[in-house]
Amino acid sequence: MTLSSRVQSGRLIKPRRALMYGVQGVGKSSFAASSDRPIFIPIEDGLANIDCDRFPLARSTKDLMDAVAALYSEQHEYRTVVVDSLDWLERMIWDDVSAEFGVKYLEKADGGYGKGYSYTIPRWRTILEGLDALREHRNMSVILTAHARAEKFQTPENTAHDRFAPRLHKLASALVQEWTDEVFFATYTAITDPARVKTDAPQRVMRTCEGPTHVAKNRLGMPPELPLDWVAYDYYTKLATQPQTEGANPDG
């Protein structure tokens, strides 16, 4: 086989894998519910007021993997799988590792000293591989949600400050962030003008690029801040696939 017959060129845009994290009630689940034909695998309560198709509440990692397996093997028209939320999934993974070592708390696993956290990583990988299989073989996008927490960030200049990050153990957080194509931080715009504060409701936005106050990333050349609206994400996904796409710019 010649080199030219093996080399592919151009951009390959596959279904997206996104992590949407943010403070409680900012609109993470609503964002996912407005995506392209979504099906939720709920891991926390909180979907009652959201109009969406969903599996029963997953109470174990087995429930989650059973739902993924059903989406893999059965006929359906869903285009997006939503795992809502990872904070609760992480607790279930901790329970699995604790059970494996016959201890009550993850901290005690394998003799203690926090070693238990490293045993969670292969389990996270298995779950992400399951979601990748939906992406590869069923052409489904993935949206993961998580709450936010402040973490200490050491700058290259050797100063430290707090910034927002997904509320996950640092090993799991790094793995999930690396796996996803996009990490969005959902928050409210700060209005500092006292005359406007009284009249304008704060706007819900998503930050799409890393900044001093938060962790985020995107592979689509998105502006650093967009309305917290799936249409905005879809616009930039389509723009990357078909540069000639016309339509209203959700940024303006």
Ligand X SMILES: Nc1ncnc2c1ncn2[C@@H]1O[C@H](COP(=O)(O)OP(=O)(O)OP(=O)(O)O)[C@@H](O)[C@H]1O
Quickly count: other Cβ atoms within 10 Å of residue 217's Cβ: 17
Cα maximum dimension of the chain: 69
109 binds ligand X (CB under 6 A): no
Applying CB under 5 A, the span of 24-32, 58-66, 108-116, 151-159 interacting with Mg ion comes to 24-32
164: CB partners within 8 A, 6+ apart: 21, 148, 149, 150, 151, 185, 187, 213, 214, 215
Binder to ligand X among 21, 29, 167, 184 (CB under 6 A)?
29
Q: How far is the CB of 181 from ligand X (least distance, A)?
A: 21
State how far the Cα of 134 lies from the Cα of 10, in Å rounded to an integer.
Answer: 24
Q: Residue 149 pairs with which residues in a beta bridge?
A: 165
16 binds ligand X (CB under 6 A): no
The 3-class secondary structure across 152-170, one letter per residue, is EEECCCCCEEEEEEECCCH
Q: How far is the CB of 229 from ligand X (least distance, A)?
A: 6
Q: In the complex with Mg ion, which residue's Cβ is closer, 145 or 180?
A: 145
30 binds ligand X (CB under 6 A): yes
Q: Answer yes or no: are the C-beta atoms of 19 and 182 closer than 8 Å.
A: yes
Token pair recorded at residue 50: 């959201």
Q: How far is the CB of 82 from ligand X (least distance, A)?
A: 10
188-247 residues near ligand X, rule: CB under 6 A: 204, 228
89 binds ligand X (CB under 6 A): no
Q: How far is the CB of 177 from ligand X (least distance, A)?
A: 19
Quickly count: other Cβ atoms within 10 Å of residue 64's Cβ: 22
State how far the Cα of 168 lies from the Cα of 108, in Å rounded to an integer.
Answer: 19
Q: Taking the CA atoms of 193, 211, 170 and 217 in sequence, report the sign of the dihedral they define.
A: positive
Q: In the complex with ligand X, which residue's Cβ is closer, 87 or 151?
A: 87
Residue whose Cβ sits closest to ligand X:
27
27 binds ligand X (CB under 6 A): yes
- DSSP reduced 3-state for 82: strand
Binder to Mg ion among 18, 19, 29, 98 (CB under 5 A)?
29
38: region left, alpha or beta (phi > 0 left; psi from -120 to 50 alpha): beta
250 binds ligand X (CB under 6 A): no
Amino acid letter, 54:
R
Q: How far is the CB of 142 from Mg ion (least distance, A)?
A: 16
Applying CB under 5 A, the span of 20-28, 172-180, 207-215, 231-239 interacting with Mg ion comes to 20-28
46 binds Mg ion (CB under 5 A): yes
Would you tell me which residues interact with ligand X (CB under 6 A)? 24-30, 46, 49, 147, 204, 228
Would you tell me which residues interact with Mg ion (CB under 5 A)? 28-29, 46
